[in-house]
């Protein structure tokens, strides 16, 4: 039973712990997954937001220059005199600007055109200067007339000076360089080839000894290429803005051109291609459907990047190590793990305590039932809880008390003689069984004697004076035996027979006791007035002798024989008298 109770406790504890563990694991995993998802989203949002706000900021910087130049271009376009162009044969002279088809002006026409463009340029320059002055980012501004339209008025180039404002610079000789010489004449030929307003660069301009960005608008009127106008911006101004971008602890931003060439990186040299540095990032950046985020590894460090395209076609990439991005998430995971461990411990302890409260009283009950089985009815059960186990404990206690009373009653009825109050024959049987066990056991030596008594004349008293006097006679004889053998158990073994088993001092003093018995019996009988008040018993004793007695029955037989001998002797004495 105890084993089974342990099993209940083990099972329930195991089941409960498993349930707690499973729940904590499940809920913890979900919480971590949600936390991770959230953290991922937020980090992506943060990076995207940073990237797009920086793109916006840089775009504003670039757009400001665009708008200024567009204002100039509108003026340049509207103020072209169609009549002059018509008379000079310029309308409809289609061509790229390097060779105007069908443009063969007369000298007069060419002179008129040259003189017109001179005025036109000087008006435009005034307008241009006003616009450029209002934008501190403009380094230089310029206009170039298609060299095939005018021989003398080729354009202007103004450069910002520290103190004096914009000052005229000598024009680059277009004929002096090949059209594909980007660093010298790219500003003229690239927009011309594209046929539309264009951002150029960043590129190193030898004339200015600076890395610059250019915005150039080609001008067309009546289908004819008139020339270009443009502004240059200092690229350093842009890189300073990008260099200042910090994401988390060590995140940064860099710029690539539309072909993936790095044009500014706080750590890498410009001119490298993204494909050489990191092909994952390069592939993702040129997937036009997306602006990130993408995960990639660089220099053994896992990173995330987002990107955006600027109005000039450059791409701003913002990157940060995943470790830093995930810092928040890691902390959250730690919190969740700690919370889960705390909950797990708390609830396991709680479950164990509950188990103890339930199985503790059960164990006591099990112990008590074992005690009860052994015939020990003095149980001590302390549990008094107001639950099923409490009720069970109280019922068990009640039951054991009642059992004790019942057994006690049963004992007194089974082993006591009603008439005399001494032990009956059944008690003798139990007693002799114990003695027999003792005899059988070779370990100890058993010493005892058995004295048997038989009341004489009981039948005569019953017949002459009634059964009540006969009972009185037996009681008197029994009391007398008990008084003499006060230290030895007395048994009524038959209607008029008694037996006493002597051990200890009574065995040693057996002879004296017998003498005392006879003397006292004589004294009593001398003063007795009725026959039923006398003590008239035959007596026989046999001491246990290991050499002849195999058991108590053997001793008893010899005592009986002695008693009958005594009886015959006393009968002869009375007849002789």
Partner 1 sequence: MEVPLRARIKEPSISKVLVCVLCALFAGLTPLLSACGTSIDHGASDAEDENRYLSIVDAEPESVDPQCILENYTAPLNIFDRLVEVEQREGGSELTPSLAESWECSGDGCVYTFTLKNGVTFSNGAALTASDVKFSFERLLTNPLSCHADLMEDVLGADNLLNGDAAELEGFRIVDDNHFTIELSRPSAAFIWKLTTPAASILDEETTLHAGESFGHEVFETVGTGPFVLSKWSKGKSIVMRANSNYWAGLPACSGIKMLFHAETSSLRDLYTAGSIDILDLGLLDMDSEYFLRGDSYFGNLVRGKDVGITFVALNNSLAPLNDVRVRHALALGLDRSTLLTAAASGRGMIENGIFPYGLSGHNDELPQIPYDPAQAKNLLAEAGFAGGFDLVITCPTTTSQSVRDLVTLIAALWSNIGVRTHVENVNAATFNARREAGELACYVSTFTADYNDPQCFIEAFFEGPEVTDGCSICYQDTATMRDALNARTILDDKERIRTYQEIEQKIVQEDYAWIPLYSKARIFVVGSRVDGFEVRWNGWPSNRYDKVRILEAKA
β-strands 497-502, 155-161 pairing: unpaired
β-strands 155-161, 138-145 pairing: antiparallel
Cα(156)–Cα(145) distance, integer angstroms: 9
Which of 206, 60, 73, 192 shows the shortest CA–CA distance to 142?
Answer: 73
Rounded to the nearest 10 degrees, how much is the dihedral formed by the CA atoms of 539, 543, 545, 546?
Answer: 110
Instruction: Report the residue number, 31 or 248, with the smaller CB distance to partner 1.
Output: 31
Closest distance to partner 1 from the beta carbon of 420 (Å): 40
Closest distance to partner 1 from the beta carbon of 326 (Å): 15
Instruction: Report the residue number, 61 or 491, with the smaller CB distance to partner 1.
Output: 61
Question: Are 274 and 267 spatial neighbours (Cβ–Cβ below 8 Å)?
Answer: no
Closest distance to partner 1 from the beta carbon of 144 (Å): 17
In the block, residue with structure tokens 């290991």? 546
Closest distance to partner 1 from the beta carbon of 381 (Å): 14
Instruction: Report the residue number, 88 or 207, with the smaller CB distance to partner 1.
Output: 88
State phi, psi for 227 to the nearest 5 degrees.
Answer: 160, -170
Instruction: Report the residue number, 59 or 211, with the smaller CB distance to partner 1.
Output: 59
Instruction: Report the residue number, 315 or 340, with the smaller CB distance to partner 1.
Output: 340
Cα(454)–Cα(539) distance, integer angstroms: 7
Question: Are 148 and 100 spatial neighbours (Cβ–Cβ below 8 Å)?
Answer: yes
Residue-wise burial string across 419-434, b where 16 or more C-beta atoms lie within 10 A, e elsewhere: ebebbbeebbeebbee
3-state secondary structure 132-189: HHCCCCEEEEEEEECCCCCCCCCEEEEEEECCCEEEECCCCCHHHCCCCCHHHHHHHH
Cα(498)–Cα(535) distance, integer angstroms: 13
Closest distance to partner 1 from the beta carbon of 345 (Å): 12
Rounded to the nearest 10 degrees, how much is the dihedral formed by the CA atoms of 116, 117, 118, 124?
Answer: 120
Closest distance to partner 1 from the beta carbon of 242 (Å): 23
Which of 189, 184, 125 shows the shortest CA–CA distance to 158?
Answer: 125
Closest distance to partner 1 from the beta carbon of 196 (Å): 4
Q: Which two tokens stand for residue 430?
A: 């139990």
Instruction: Report the residue number, 204 or 222, with the smaller CB distance to partner 1.
Output: 222
- Sign of the Cα torsion 379, 385, 389, 395 reads positive
- Alpha helical stretches, state H, 195-311: 235-243, 274-277, 279-285
Instruction: Report the residue number, 94 or 106, with the smaller CB distance to partner 1.
Output: 94
Closest distance to partner 1 from the beta carbon of 325 (Å): 17
Q: Which two tokens stand for residue 438?
A: 């003792």
Residues that bind partner 1 in the complex, under the rule CB under 8 A: 1, 4, 8, 12, 15-16, 19-20, 23-24, 27-28, 30-31, 34-35, 37-38, 70, 73-74, 77-78, 82-83, 86-87, 91-92, 94, 193-197, 219-223, 289, 332, 336, 339-340, 343, 346-347, 350-351, 354-355, 358, 362, 365, 388-389, 392
Instruction: Report the residue number, 404 or 570, with the smaller CB distance to partner 1.
Output: 404
Closest distance to partner 1 from the beta carbon of 250 (Å): 27
Instruction: Report the residue number, 87 or 425, with the smaller CB distance to partner 1.
Output: 87
Instruction: Report the residue number, 110 or 393, with the smaller CB distance to partner 1.
Output: 393
- 3-class DSSP state for residue 110? helix
Instruction: Report the residue number, 93 or 490, with the smaller CB distance to partner 1.
Output: 93
Instruction: Report the residue number, 28 or 293, with the smaller CB distance to partner 1.
Output: 28
**From the CB of residue 570, how many other CB atoms can be counted at a distance below 10 Å?**
15
- 3-class DSSP state for residue 326? coil
Closest distance to partner 1 from the beta carbon of 194 (Å): 5
Closest distance to partner 1 from the beta carbon of 422 (Å): 38
Instruction: Report the residue number, 26 or 460, with the smaller CB distance to partner 1.
Output: 26
Which of 339, 328, 334 shows the shortest CA–CA distance to 38?
Answer: 328
Q: Which two tokens stand for residue 343?
A: 């909950």
Closest distance to partner 1 from the beta carbon of 22 (Å): 10
- Alpha helical stretches, state H, 416-490: 425-440, 458-465, 467-484
Closest distance to partner 1 from the beta carbon of 223 (Å): 4
């Amino acid at each position: 039973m105890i084993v089974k109770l342990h099993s209940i406790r083990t099972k329930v504890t195991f089941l409960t712990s498993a349930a707690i563990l499973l729940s904590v694991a499940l809920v913890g995993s979900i919480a971590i997954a949600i936390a991770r998802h959230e953290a991922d989203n937020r980090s992506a949002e943060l990076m995207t937001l940073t990237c797009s706000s920086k793109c916006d900021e840089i775009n504003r910087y670039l757009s400001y220059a665009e708008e200024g130049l567009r204002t100039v271009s509108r003026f340049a376009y509207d103020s072209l005199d169609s009549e002059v162009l018509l008379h000079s044969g310029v309308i409809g002279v289609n061509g790229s600007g390097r060779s105007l088809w069908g443009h063969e002006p007369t000298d007069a026409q060419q002179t008129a055109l040259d003189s017109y463009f001179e005025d036109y340029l000087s008006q435009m320059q005034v307008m241009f200067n006003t616009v450029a002055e209002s934008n501190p980012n403009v380094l230089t501004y310029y206009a170039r007339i298609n060299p095939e339209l005018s021989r003398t008025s080729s354009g202007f180039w103004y450069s910002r000076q520290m103190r004096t404002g914009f000052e005229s610079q000598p024009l680059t000789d277009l004929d002096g360089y090949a059209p594909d010489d980007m660093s010298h004449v790219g500003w003229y030929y690239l927009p011309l080839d594209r046929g539309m307003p264009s951002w150029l660069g960043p590129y190193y301009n030898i004339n200015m000894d600076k890395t610059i960005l250019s915005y150039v608008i080609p001008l067309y009127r009546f289908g004819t290429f008139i020339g270009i106008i443009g502004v240059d911006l200092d690229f350093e101004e842009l890189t300073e803005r990008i260099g200042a971008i910090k994401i988390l602890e060590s995140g940064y931003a860099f710029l690539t051109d539309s072909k993936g060439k790095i044009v500014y990186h706080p750590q890498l040299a410009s001119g490298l291609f993204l494909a050489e540095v990191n092909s994952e990032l390069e592939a993702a950046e040129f997937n036009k459907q997306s602006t990130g985020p993408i995960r990639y590894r660089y220099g053994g460090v896992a990173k995330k990047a987002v990107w955006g395209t600027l109005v000039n076609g450059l791409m701003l990439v913002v990157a940060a190590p995943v470790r830093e991005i995930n810092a928040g998430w890691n902390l959250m995971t730690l919190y969740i793990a700690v919370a889960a461990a705390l909950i797990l411990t708390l609830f396991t302890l709680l479950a164990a305590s509950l188990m103890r409260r339930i199985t503790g009283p059960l164990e006591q009950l099990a112990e008590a039932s074992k005690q009860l089985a052994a015939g020990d009815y003095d149980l001590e059960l302390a549990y008094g809880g107001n639950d099923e186990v409490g009720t069970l404990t109280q019922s068990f206690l009640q039951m054991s008390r009642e059992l004790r009373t019942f057994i006690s009653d049963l004992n007194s009825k089974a082993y006591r003689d009603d008439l005399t109050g001494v032990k009956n024959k059944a008690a003798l049987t139990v007693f002799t069984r114990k003695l027999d066990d003792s005899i059988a056991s070779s370990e100890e030596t058993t010493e005892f004697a058995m004295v048997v008594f038989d009341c004489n004349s009981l039948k005569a008293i019953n017949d002459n004076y009634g059964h009540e006097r006969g009972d009185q006679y037996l009681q008197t004889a029994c009391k007398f035996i008990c008084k003499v053998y006060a230290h030895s158990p007395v048994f009524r073994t038959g209607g008029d027979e008694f037996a006493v088993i002597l051990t200890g001092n009574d065995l040693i003093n057996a002879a004296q006791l017998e003498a005392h018995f006879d003397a006292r019996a004589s004294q009593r009988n001398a003063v007795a007035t009725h026959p039923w008040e006398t003590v008239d018993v035959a007596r026989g004793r046999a001491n246990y002798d290991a050499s002849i007695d195999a058991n108590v029955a053997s001793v008893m037989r010899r005592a009986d024989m002695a008693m009958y001998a005594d009886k015959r002797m006393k009968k002869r004495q009375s007849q002789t008298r």
